[in-house]
Each structure stands twice: as structure tokens, then as C-alpha cells.
């Protein structure tokens, strides 16, 4: 079974600073990887996904993530954070052939200081 670890529960960055949210996964083969963002009291919005090919994936809102097989990681990055990026971020993994059943990490709460 697959699993996801997001080591950072909370992260605070200043507006304009760069951001990296960590995600490590456990899966026996190459997984499908996702990053979702959740605003308070709301559902999840897909930021980006990795299925195959280029390991550097571009997403919406200026986010990108890099799949590193050797480190079993899929860290999310943004070069310059905006105050509106404050939210909860979830990394998720899906098994190939497993349909759309995703396993989510515990999330990282991002706070942006003005």
C-alpha cells in the first residue's frame, strides 16, 4: 500500500520569499503524484500532477514540483509567495492501476507574513 509523508505541519514565509513544501512517498513502483490546495472550510483544488515524463512539473498559480525517484520525493516549490497562497497543502499519491483512489499526506499549513 502507498503512503505519503509531509514532514512539515506548519510553515511560515514572508510574502515574496521562496517556498518549498516537502513530500515523501512510499510506493513499490512509479506512482501518480499530486499536490492539492485547500482553503479554510473548502474542498481541494488541484495544483499539479505527475504521471510520467519530465520530472519537473508546472502547475497553476506559479507552483512547480519535482519528482525525484531516488529520494522518493515530490516537493512543491514557488519562487515568490503571495499572501493569497496561505492555505493548507496536501500531497497525494495514487497507485497505477488503482483507479482514482488517492492516499493523502497530513497536509502542511502555510502562513504568509506580510
Contacts with other proteins, residue ranges (CB under 8 A) = 4, 9, 32, 34, 36, 41-46, 49, 51, 90, 94, 99-107
Smallest gap from Cβ 21 to other proteins, in A, equals: 14
Q: Are strands 108-113 and 10-14 parallel, antiparallel or unpaired?
A: parallel
Query: For other proteins, which is the closer residue by CB, 32 or 67?
Result: 32
Smallest gap from Cβ 51 to other proteins, in A, equals: 6
Residue 104 buriedness (CB in 10 A; 0-12 / 13-18 / 19+) = middle
Smallest gap from Cβ 40 to other proteins, in A, equals: 10
Amino acid at each position: 500500500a502507498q503512503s505519503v509523508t509531509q514532514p512539515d505541519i506548519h510553515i511560515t514565509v514572508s510574502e515574496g520569499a521562496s517556498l518549498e513544501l516537502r513530500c515523501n512517498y512510499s510506493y513499490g513502483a512509479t506512482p501518480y503524484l499530486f499536490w492539492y490546495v485547500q482553503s479554510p472550510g473548502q474542498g481541494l483544488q488541484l495544483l499539479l500532477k505527475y504521471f510520467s515524463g519530465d520530472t519537473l512539473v508546472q502547475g497553476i498559480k506559479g507552483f512547480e514540483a519535482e519528482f525525484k525517484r531516488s529520494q522518493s520525493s515530490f516537493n512543491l516549490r514557488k519562487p515568490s509567495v503571495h499572501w493569497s497562497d496561505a492555505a493548507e497543502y496536501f500531497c497525494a499519491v495514487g497507485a497505477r492501476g488503482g483507479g482514482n483512489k488517492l492516499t493523502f499526506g497530513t497536509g502542511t499549513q502555510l502562513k504568509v507574513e506580510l
